[in-house]
Structure 1
Amino acid sequence: MPASHDSLLRRLRLLVLIAVCMPMAAYSGAFEDFFNAARNDNVDEINSLLHRGLDPNLVEEERGETGLIIAVREGSVRVFNALLNARNIDLEVKARNGDNALMVAAYKGNRSAVELLLAKGAEVNRPNWTALHYAAAAGKNDIVQMLLDRGADVNASSPNKTTPLMMAAGEGHIMTVKLLLDRGAELAVKNELGLNALDFASRNGHKDIVDGLTYRLKRAGKL
């Protein structure tokens, strides 16, 4: 009897262990499937996982990105639309580097994604780096214009006080520089390193921008 009792207890413990581990294994598999589907625009898989109750705001381990951020970055249009309209989706989740979906869409020049995110309520202005910084750095003028029209702060300040104008000047995007200046960007403002937009352009050898900004600063009596 004691031996039989011990055997029964061992079987019960094994059944309990299996019951505990199986959901964890299933969840781990679903986790991987979710991010693979986001990368490969597998909207059927995404919809299936969401229907089974998977959190649309899951964060992957390598970069701390959500499925929505990955979909924007990889150009997975169908998955992006599915996640954008998923129940309880959080548009403001940030990856480990501080990027969110709107910022990535702005940098990639994905006008449609930017429009949809804004229509869904994504925040145009936020502390630290903004979508406008990213659009300006990439020279995506249509995105810059759209963000400004939606109330983006043209002089938004990064953690070290760098502005979108400085980013555009440093990357050599002369038309973006002009657009930002026309919309009220402050030319003489400096970041924490004591650099203004003219310095950014000069350090990177963008002579046409240097000439234009020098003229503007002289005309304003700030040089």
Structure 2
Amino acid sequence: MTTRVSISRGCGRWLVAASLGLSLGLGNLAWAQQAPGPDWWTAISQDDVSTTTGLLLRNVDPNAFNKMGNPALIQAARDQSWKVFDVLRVTPGVKIDEPNAHNETALMYLSIEGQTQRAEALIAAGAQVNRLGWTPLHYAASKGRVEVAKMLLAHQAIVNAPGPDGTTPLMMAALSGNQAMVDLLLAHGADPTMFNLAHETAADFARKRKYTNLAQSLDDAAAQRQAERQLGVDSNAPAKLPDAGAPASTAAGSQGTPVAPPSKGTDDKSSFSRYFDLEQSSEPTR
């Protein structure tokens, strides 16, 4: 009996010490963070939760950027390392809205990847749905992520938000060729008469990809909107975009605030930025 009590007390002291060490380790994250090494980024790319957690307990900075200009949370989303992403999201001190070198946020990546539940959890944690420049709704629309778009709209996403060159989510939906996405945005007030700095409408975007039927339906919707406007039926006038000669880095309605990406990090050719570079992305979801 005496032996059992001693063993029990010994185990209890060990557990207390281990718990204390864990608590101190988490507390140190706020004041003694270390720059991550190659093992950190390897663990993220391999969705290695054990190594990632261990490095966090050794005070690796979760907000540090890699050579492509991505913080860990965004890199995990890019790598589709969802177990690591979930750990990073709840890590003390992590900046969930920290943009990468191309001014993209983690929520934008979740939107383009169709991660509806994770995107909603990130919003609940404070991620911004609306922002200057490209928005999560643009990204969801570009790949026809209808369920993500529904969720973003439910969280007050601006349906006619202009990108840096005036491109709207409806234009991106047209480029994706996804009729359901186009219909969803139109039902929420997307304006098919709007045009970007290149004077292209959503119908023009559909024609770029030879989506003839979709382009025609958008032309019809634009004609109907114009007719309603002339009759004074439509109270939602389209947002005014900058003149064609205005800098492409200034978003309409942004009071002239430039939307230039940060300069940190080397150029990442696989980024969804620079008009999403959709020609280099996978084929659009129909």
Same fold (TM over 0.5): yes
Q: Find out whether 1:47 has 2:53 as its counterpart.
A: yes
Equivalent residues of 1:72, 1:113 under 8 A apart: no
Q: Write out per-residue CA displacement over residues 1-35 of structure 1, whole angstroms, 9 at most, x where no aligned residue.
A: xxxxxxxxxxxxxxxxxxxxxxxxxx67x421111
1:57 counterpart letter in structure 2: N
1:48 counterpart letter in structure 2: G
TM-score by length of 1: 0.83
Task: Evaluate the alpha carbon distance shift between residue 135 and residue 82 of structure 1 in structure 2; reply closer, same or farther with a 3 A threshold.
Answer: same
Distance (Å, rounded) in 2 between the aligned partners of 1:221 and 1:133? 24
Equivalent residue runs for 1:58-73 within 5 Å = 58-61=64-67, 63-73=68-78
1:59 counterpart letter in structure 2: F
Distance (Å, rounded) in 2 between the aligned partners of 1:210 and 1:147? 25
Q: Write out per-residue CA displacement over residues 123-169 of structure 1, whole angstroms, 9 at most, x where no aligned residue.
A: 00011001100000000000000001011110111110100000111
Distance (Å, rounded) in 1 between the aligned partners of 2:74 and 2:226? 44
Write out the 4+ residue segments of structure 1 that deviate beyond 4 Å after TM superposition: none
Q: Write out per-residue CA displacement over residues 8-67 of structure 1, whole angstroms, 9 at most, x where no aligned residue.
A: xxxxxxxxxxxxxxxxxxx67x42111111111111111111111111101101x11111
**Matched residue, 1:101:** 106
Structure 2 gap segments, 5+ residues each: 1-33, 228-286
**Matched residue, 2:144:** 139
Distance (Å, rounded) in 1 between the aligned partners of 2:169 and 2:76? 25
Q: Find out whether 1:88 has 2:90 as its counterpart.
A: no
Please report how far the alpha carbon of residue 201 of structure 1 lies from its aligned counterpart in structure 2 after TM superposition: 1.1
Distance (Å, rounded) in 1 between the aligned partners of 2:100 and 2:118? 18
Distance (Å, rounded) in 1 between the aligned partners of 2:97 and 2:54? 24
Distance (Å, rounded) in 2 between the aligned partners of 1:181 and 1:104? 23
TM-score by length of 2: 0.65
Tell me whether 88-97 or 141-150 shows the greater mean CA deviation: 88-97
2:60 counterpart letter in structure 1: L
Match for residue 182 of structure 1 among 187, 191, 195: 187
**Matched residue, 1:218:** 223
Give the secondary structure class of the aligned counterpart of 2:161. coil
Equivalent residues of 2:193, 2:225 under 8 A apart: no
1:206 counterpart letter in structure 2: Y
Equivalent residue runs for 1:89-168 within 5 Å = 89-168=94-173
Equivalent residues of 2:159, 2:169 under 8 A apart: yes
Please report how far the alpha carbon of residue 97 of structure 1 lies from its aligned counterpart in structure 2 after TM superposition: 2.0
Larger Rg: 1
Match for residue 62 of structure 2 among 43, 46, 56: 56
Task: Evaluate the alpha carbon distance shift between residue 99 and residue 221 of structure 1 in structure 2; reply closer, same or farther with a 3 A threshold.
Answer: closer
Equivalent residues of 1:38, 1:68 under 8 A apart: no
Tell me whether 107-116 or 151-160 shows the greater mean CA deviation: 107-116
Tell me whether 65-74 or 174-183 shows the greater mean CA deviation: 65-74
Distance (Å, rounded) in 1 between the aligned partners of 2:212 and 2:65? 43
Give the secondary structure class of the aligned counterpart of 2:110. helix
Give the secondary structure class of the aligned counterpart of 1:118. helix
Distance (Å, rounded) in 2 between the aligned partners of 1:41 and 1:126? 29
Percent identity over paired residues: 35
Equivalent residues of 2:141, 2:173 under 8 A apart: yes
Give the secondary structure class of the aligned counterpart of 1:221. helix
Distance (Å, rounded) in 2 between the aligned partners of 1:156 and 1:220? 18
**Matched residue, 2:81:** 76
Please report how far the alpha carbon of residue 220 of structure 1 lies from its aligned counterpart in structure 2 after TM superposition: 2.9
Equivalent residues of 1:124, 1:152 under 8 A apart: yes
